[in-house]
Amino acid sequence: MIEIKNVNKVFYQAGREIKALDDINLSIAEGSIYGVIGSSGAGKSTLIRCVNLLERPTKGRIFVDGIELNSLSANELTLARRKIGMIFQHFNLLSSRTVFNNVGLPLELAGVSKQEIKEKVESLLELVGLSDKKDSYPANLSGGQKQRVAIARALASDPKVLLCDEATSALDPATTHSILELLRKINREFNLTILLITHEMAVVKSICSDVAIIGGGKLVEQGPVGDIFAHPKTELARQFIRSTLDLSIPADYAARLSASQSPNSYPLVRLEFTGASVDAPIISHVARELNLDISILSSNMDYVGGIKFGLMLAEFFGSPQATEQAIAFLKENKIEVEVLGYVA
């Protein structure tokens, strides 16, 4: 549905060259929810803005629904954009228009009759759950409500593609969740292809089918979300995955932690389960077979695309030999083990 071919974007600022996008190739299938993740300044916004040519690539070609956008005249591009919806981090609703008139704007631009606009807008407001707000002005809405209006507006001209530029980054976690649910719903209901950019792996994890990771303007890694979580090939991918389950050592434990073992102290270990780890009840196996008591301090396990992964902090109470054997066994099963120190 969306093809991004050899796209490069160079900005010139104060005589300096900034390579914002470096030979990006992406192919986004119809009906998928495709996530692009990267840290600040990675080039995410530039990439998504290239898709509807808000930003013209310095080099490369963009196809949406089989049409090469770069080759269109200004007027043709304007018409093509009506089939590409877009929502933004800061909503970009017109403050001078009511909710109703904001949602109706794309239809007004296309010269649709008043009666049709009314019917369409009312059904869209119902879809996003804001029928009661139709005469309100955006200034009187919450962030989540504003983004719902923006989504309704983006859907007004029946687009085939929806571009989301950090659509949930200005929202709290609960609202983020509800907006993502709404995106998933419209993806299913209208078979709408969604390209979503974010800096949060949690967003990718919760709704995307595929993900591309970009860093420094380069496409670092891409694939189905499950595969990336299971077998991240790059350090950047691992970092993003870890960021979804960051576990830190509680302060009072950290204070009691020492680097060397004394007779009555026990190791505090961090276990990292990845897609490569053997999927079996390993913890209880270790405890039973090696006569080791395992006390789980904290744990953050997750399940994405058929893959179990996560982090766990645990204390191993047992003889030094048993502990050593346990660690060896865990490593054999492709669980990464790190001894963080010894707690007295």
If the CB atoms of residues 90 and 233 are measured against another protein, the closer one turns out to be 90
CA distance 293 to 282: 13
Q: At 29, give phi and psi (nearest 5°).
A: -75, 150
Pick from 33, 42, 124, 230 the residue near ligand ATP by CB under 6 A: 42
What is the b/e burial string over 75-84, where b = at least 16 CB atoms within 10 angstroms of the residue's CB?
eeeeebbeeb
Q: Nearer to another protein by C-beta: 125 or 150?
A: 150
Q: Are 47 and 96 in contact, with CB atoms under 8 Å apart?
A: no
Shortest Cβ 19–ligand ATP spacing (Å): 8
Applying CB under 5 A, among 45, 168, 222, 244 the residue interacting with Mg ion is: 45
Footprint on this chain of another protein (rule: CB under 8 A): 52, 54, 75, 78-82, 84-86, 88, 90, 92, 94-97, 105-106, 108-110, 137-139, 153-154, 157, 163
* Least distance from ligand ATP to the Cβ atom of residue 48, Å: 8
For residues 193 and 26, the answer to whether their CB atoms sit within 8 Å is no
- Taking the complex as a whole, the smallest distance from the CB of residue 215 to ligand ATP amounts, in Å, to 9
Using the rule CB under 6 A, give the single segment among 33-41, 76-84, 113-121, 288-296 that binds ligand ATP: 33-41
CB of 45 to ligand ATP, least distance (A): 3
DSSP 8-class letter at 97: S
DSSP strands (E only) in 256-331: 257-258, 266-273, 293-304, 307-317
The span from the CA of 278 to the CA of 157, in Å, is 48
d(CA 344, CA 342): 6
Instruction: Choose among another protein, ligand ATP, Mg ion, none what residue 41 binds, the Cβ cut-off being 5 to 8 Å by kind.
Output: ligand ATP
> What string of DSSP letters covers 7-40?
EEEEEEETTEEEEEEEEEEEEE-TT-EEEEE--T
**HSE of 107 in the Cβ direction (CA atoms, 13 Å)?**
22
Nearer to ligand ATP, 44 or 81 (CB): 44
Which x/- pattern over 185-224 shows residues binding ligand ATP (rule: CB under 6 A)?
--------------x-------------------------
Asked if 303 is part of the footprint of ligand ATP (rule: CB under 6 A), the reply reads no
Of 75 and 113, nearer to another protein (C-beta) is: 75
| 135: three-class secondary structure by DSSP | coil
Closer residue to another protein (CB): 145 or 157: 157
Tokens describing residue 106: 């794309």
Binding site for ligand ATP (CB under 6 A): 11, 13, 18, 20, 38, 40-46, 199
Binding site for Mg ion (CB under 5 A): 45
